[in-house]
Structure 1
């Protein structure tokens, strides 16, 4: 789980708040149920107490008795959970059969006071909810006070409470799950503009657009506006850098041409050694300028995803150009490009990579050159170029990175492979050199990220 994810943090916070709200609601409902259940029990006990009060009699000899006992069977069952007790004059006491040989504690209260409910200790270490009242028997010669008590075992109330909780807990769990699912859906919809923004940024990155759409929620609109201004600034910076690079290249052509003319005059004047030295330095300057400009241009284009270039078209153009060079017609050119494969960058950069690698293969191949471009994973593509030439020793691969030639027996500057490496690395790709297992010559493999299908 990514703790930095906004979706995860909002989801966890929402789930926590839902759980807390359900817990508080469940506790509140349980408390309300307990209070209501206790009120109902007191009301039921009050009815029993009134029934007892109506049945109490006092005989002529002062003996206390009942005309009839309450009909609830729990009064007849020993320790049945429902009890009554009457305390009369002369310590006379009448009890329900359910009390057996136990007596309940009473508190003397003045006659006429409202019913009193309280918790008392009962038989078998039980807790009882009792209702008590003191009444005066008016049908006697003297006003005689009688104390009435009816009690209910808390176990009966607990049973009802457990029954209530057995329904409440699953209901709250189900409600919680529904609320969490609903909240997840709401959060998913709330974050949808950010996913759309990511998709539009990827389209800009791959070259399928240069501006983000403006039809977004008001909360996201400021971000979109700032990103559009940033993209416009980067595009302007890229064009300005391209113009400056072109001006630099043009500005260096004249001094280099003058130095080349000076070398020719020196050679005509019999100073061949001086002319060769000047030509060598002019060539080195041109190579360094070409390499630096190519890397700078590729770095800017790769950073902004300037456009998406079909690989097949670039390969065909490069092959047509190379096959016009001397000796190219005698070679067997085998090219295989996956349909719809695109390079997320400038067409000129891709053709320069292909041109340098294929031209190097042309110089060294005996009779066959093979090119394969295909997808590699979800967002990468690979380019493999092989030839049947002498191949490249592994310990010489690092020299190419510095722009050195690893063999002086073929014409060329030796900077082609180094420039290709610079361009690949500018697009965050990987290039490798090895010996071809099939053809026996040099095998150059390139992996470039972020390929896009051509629509």
Structure 2
């Protein structure tokens, strides 16, 4: 897929945005997880502090005692990660997990039964999250306040966070793949109108329809309407051009006939002048024929390109050539692929191939051979004869439209007209020496330019 592909660019942009959104979502979920984990930890610590507050009492010597300690085994393991401590003035009661350490930090004298959250330094260089509660024991006269602190090592959070991330990252990666595939499908579906438009344009290009259909979405419909207007304008311009060429040819016929008549009239008195007038009249007639031939062709830029099968048209032309003087005495060898299609209207093919076959008929001694090639990417039509052929200088002169076959009847512009029409339809026409000894005329074109009809019969 090319970098200029709209689908590729939309897909990459969508994938980048999905990845960015999932990364931000992952960061947000991690922060939410930390907040929820901390809130739950605080809630558990506060519940333990309340439990200890309900069990704490003072011994006769003034030391605090707890009737029933928390059951979590981490409170009993040295530096187990969970700690509790009860302070009664200078007297101290603590969990076994603190060993010989104590929970320091500021004393919140304003704390009430509602627990306050503290960050405290812990044993073994740990950072603790703690909940503090204050409990009053005894009567009003002999009331003593006890400070209860329950804490947990924040390093225990790391394991929970790592487990969460081990689950979160693959889940986000799988979600990325699913969303990217869904977006690719969405982009594919969103570009469906453009593929339909491309198919409709190919149908117009192949001559299967005259205009684009009007059932496209509202976003594409203005483009379709503009293309249809372009087709209308092009058709009107082509009609005007052909009409102008026809008017020009009709307007020149009378002056040319007059010149020809004058040449014959003065032929007895001024034979050289009469020959010159006749030659110029033929040259003008040839130029008119070339102009008309070019006007009849559909230019390569025309959206509505046609195509036609070559074999049936060549069959009809060969039948016509055999009816011409000396045509039946020639051997016509025709071997064409059944699926060979010419990238233009049949009339243009008849014009080009007719001029080439007429030239071969005039100059061939005994044989005219017609062949072709229909490849996957390119195609060709080959016409050869066993006549005298043409020199390289004469072949080069064809591009300038000079008359070269003055020893044969006709205007002598047939090959030049064939080249003009071929060039106008985007087909390349080359001349050279045939293996039969005479002229070799080869028409070549690209198959991808056209989508012609499928053949039903072959030529022979």
TM-score by length of 2: 0.89
Equivalent position of 1:96 in the other structure: 95
Secondary structure at 2:266 match in 1? helix
CA distance in 2 between partners of 1:280 and 1:340 (Å) = 43
Equivalent position of 1:386 in the other structure: 384
Indicate conservation of the 8 Å contact 1:115/1:132, yes or no: yes
List aligned pairs for 1:123-162, cutoff 5 A: 123-138=123-138, 142-162=142-162
Indicate conservation of the 8 Å contact 2:305/2:450, yes or no: no
Equivalent position of 1:435 in the other structure: 433
CA distance in 1 between partners of 2:121 and 2:384 (Å) = 98
Q: Give the C-alpha shift of residue 405 in structure 1.
A: 5.3
**Structure 1, unaligned stretches of length 5 or more?**
none
Question: Are 1:184 and 2:193 an aligned pair?
Answer: no
Q: Give the C-alpha shift of residue 331 in structure 1.
A: 2.4
Quick one: structure 1 residues 125 and 426, their matched pair in 2 at CA, closer, same or farther if it must change by over 3 Å? farther
Indicate conservation of the 8 Å contact 1:108/1:134, yes or no: no
Indicate conservation of the 8 Å contact 1:427/1:448, yes or no: no
Offset from partner CA, 1:61-96 (integer Å, 9 cap, x none): 223333333221112222222122233322x33332
Quick one: structure 1 residues 57 and 123, their matched pair in 2 at CA, closer, same or farther if it must change by over 3 Å? same
Q: Give the C-alpha shift of residue 398 in structure 1.
A: 2.1
**Structure 2, unaligned stretches of length 5 or more?**
455-460
CA distance in 2 between partners of 1:139 and 1:396 (Å) = 132
Indicate conservation of the 8 Å contact 1:365/1:388, yes or no: yes
1:399 is aligned, of 397, 400, 415, to 397
Q: Give the C-alpha shift of residue 395 in structure 1.
A: 5.4
CA distance in 2 between partners of 1:131 and 1:24 (Å) = 32
Equivalent position of 1:377 in the other structure: 376
Quick one: structure 1 residues 105 and 387, their matched pair in 2 at CA, closer, same or farther if it must change by over 3 Å? farther
Indicate conservation of the 8 Å contact 1:18/1:180, yes or no: yes
Offset from partner CA, 1:34-67 (integer Å, 9 cap, x none): 2211111111111221222233332212233333
Secondary structure at 1:290 match in 2? helix
Equivalent position of 1:426 in the other structure: 424
Quick one: structure 1 residues 189 and 63, their matched pair in 2 at CA, closer, same or farther if it must change by over 3 Å? closer
Moved more, 1-10 or 158-167: 1-10
Aligned residues: 451
Secondary structure at 2:267 match in 1? helix
Indicate conservation of the 8 Å contact 1:366/1:388, yes or no: yes
Offset from partner CA, 1:206-257 (integer Å, 9 cap, x none): 2111111122223323332332232222222222222221121111111000
Q: Give the C-alpha shift of residue 2 in structure 1.
A: 4.3
| Greater length-normalized contact order (CA 8 Å, ≥ 6 residues apart) | 2
Quick one: structure 1 residues 273 and 393, their matched pair in 2 at CA, closer, same or farther if it must change by over 3 Å? closer
Offset from partner CA, 1:253-308 (integer Å, 9 cap, x none): 1100000000000113x210000110111111111221122223325486243643
Indicate conservation of the 8 Å contact 2:337/2:372, yes or no: yes
Quick one: structure 1 residues 313 and 105, their matched pair in 2 at CA, closer, same or farther if it must change by over 3 Å? same
Equivalent position of 1:448 in the other structure: 445
Equivalent position of 2:344 in the other structure: 345
List aligned pairs for 1:284-323, cutoff 5 A: 284-300=283-299, 303-305=302-304, 307-323=306-322
Quick one: structure 1 residues 304 and 144, their matched pair in 2 at CA, closer, same or farther if it must change by over 3 Å? closer
Secondary structure at 1:303 match in 2? coil
Secondary structure at 2:210 match in 1? coil
Indicate conservation of the 8 Å contact 2:352/2:418, yes or no: yes
Quick one: structure 1 residues 161 and 395, their matched pair in 2 at CA, closer, same or farther if it must change by over 3 Å? farther
CA distance in 2 between partners of 1:127 and 1:365 (Å) = 107
Indicate conservation of the 8 Å contact 1:428/1:448, yes or no: yes
CA distance in 2 between partners of 1:393 and 1:259 (Å) = 33
List aligned pairs for 1:208-247, cutoff 5 A: 208-247=208-247
Secondary structure at 1:267 match in 2? coil
Offset from partner CA, 1:122-151 (integer Å, 9 cap, x none): 233332221112222237983222222111
Quick one: structure 1 residues 407 and 214, their matched pair in 2 at CA, closer, same or farther if it must change by over 3 Å? closer
Secondary structure at 1:211 match in 2? coil
Aligned-pair Cα RMSD in Å? 2.6
Secondary structure at 1:166 match in 2? helix
Secondary structure at 1:33 match in 2? helix
